[in-house]
Structure 1
Amino acid sequence: MTDTEDTRDNATTEETAPEETTPAAKPRSRRRVLAGAVGATVGLAAGAVGSAVALQGAGTPPVVEPASARRFENKVVIITGATSGIGRAAATLFAAEGAKVSFCGRREQLGREVEREIRDAGGEATYVRADVRVEEDVRAFVEQTVSVYGGLDVCFNNAGISIEKRLHELTAAEWDDVVGTDLRGVFLAMKYQVPHLIERGGGTIVVTSSSNAISTAENKSAYASAKRALIGLVQAAAHDYAADGIRVNALVPGTTNTDFVRRLAGAENLPDEVWATMATAFGKASVPGLARMATPEEIAVGALALASGEFPYMTGNQLVLDGGKTAHQ
């Protein structure tokens, strides 16, 4: 599974954050692991909150705060897929560090909510409804951002979806939907972003791939293919635009606790306490090393690091934030 999207309904959400499977010799799917976690953890106590506490042996995720340096003061940051999950966390953190943030997503209600929260906290943000599968939407999103804020400095291309089935069970339309969102959507975003970065005299591009690009499992053929292809895209584009002062890098997240993963687990209608229990159990069973899922903020800080000026010699590369999963395999 991934932290992006899933079937027809889920495929209308926009963001990524990868996922993983168990490190055992015979991997199990996330859905099966989480389904088992439901039965095991719900029965631990009369209340699911008590169960979650009992299972939490891998440590509590740290609270991620914006950097005090305000690395993006007056910088224009454009983000695809920022209505929830990693993209939403990144939009909030970029704005907290002084950026003017323009972001898109298909879920308008959530987009307006994120925009309002950032502005209420004293940041600057503009939401634009756009579907990265639609070229005119992408072009209009980029042009509106430039019109409102005067240019581009940082591009975080994060939107993505997933449909999890065995390869032969995927329809051609489903395959096209995943690849069209996760790979073609990034191509379209960069196609319209790059000229503005060149005009600006340089900038940075960060693309969300997935640890499934390194090590994957069953039911992920479309998603893993698209995410691995993004690594090639990043490497080639880094060479294309190095002379223009544009650095291009990939963010490679592991399993991240987002609404998307919750939907893929079939837990979106379960109480939050039950989901917390499931998520804790799954993290302990499936993420060797830190033994827990990442928070969206823990991944988003990687996007900010890559986008900042702190790594001026880094381009065409990948930052893997997966809690030790791929190192184990």
Structure 2
Amino acid sequence: MRTEEVPLEAADAEAEFDWDTAGTLESTDGSRVWLVPTPVGNLGDLTLRALEVLRGADAVACEDTRRTGALLSHLDIRRPLVRLDAHTMHRAAQVLEKYPRLAYVSDAGTPGISDPGAELVQAAVAQDIPVEVLPGATAFVPALVLSGLPTARFTFEGFLPRSGRERKERLAALAARAETTILYESPHRLHATLLDLAASCGEGRPASVTRELSKRFEETRRGPLSELAPHFAEGVRGEIVVVVGGRSDEEAQAGAPDFSALAAQLAAEGLSVRDLRARLMAAGMRKNEAYALALQAGGPVASPTPLPDAATMSGEDPS
């Protein structure tokens, strides 16, 4: 087999590139916590560094010992397992004391992203224990890129509230954003969420639904919300990421309230300048702009009545 000769300059440049191994277990002394991303589907996405940490840690803390136990068994890694999920995270300080070099994994993806993990970081920081977060698998970044929607600015919402006023407020805030929004959703609530998104954002708002990332039946469906909701009406399986496009300039102009008309209406109802300003601010106007419009619609503020002088108070004729 013939190999091509590498130019000397290229060989020197490659030799000078220094891969940093300062974070390896061999160079780590004392207590430490590692947050280790695990694959969201394909086991081939587990990094070499993640394998090293899982093999060398004193213990592996996790959400589900059965699921993580199966993963470690597949990888031929035998380490003590400790359950630290949303219900048992209050034991984090005791676990850190017992296992100075602790690796933490969630069921899939990067711990702390819509999964437990942030609380463990807080506990470690409180005890002055160094924390490392390994780069690795997560679901929302691939789904964002796959969506074909703008990626320069985006908001990650995680899971929406299931019901009530908080859900309505979050949906309204999402609909008003100019940037792309990313959501996680469960399979049995996907259809209802897509209907709610269409109602709040408009049926024509572009969006995408990605499921089963990196797995055999991975699917990304793109289109307006009016088309996505019927497509998933029968239900689906797998992990779900919904990406919703931002509000367009045309939508913003069409949906902008007519503050002048609102101010005139409120003034006709007899509201004071102060109350009128408060109502305009509640409708979305900035404080200074609301005050200026309130003055214009409600007329000038009445001048304070001047205090009487001493002569008037004494009953004397000032002339």
Q: What's the TM-score, normalizing by structure 1?
A: 0.31
Higher relative contact order (CA 8 A, sep 6+): 1
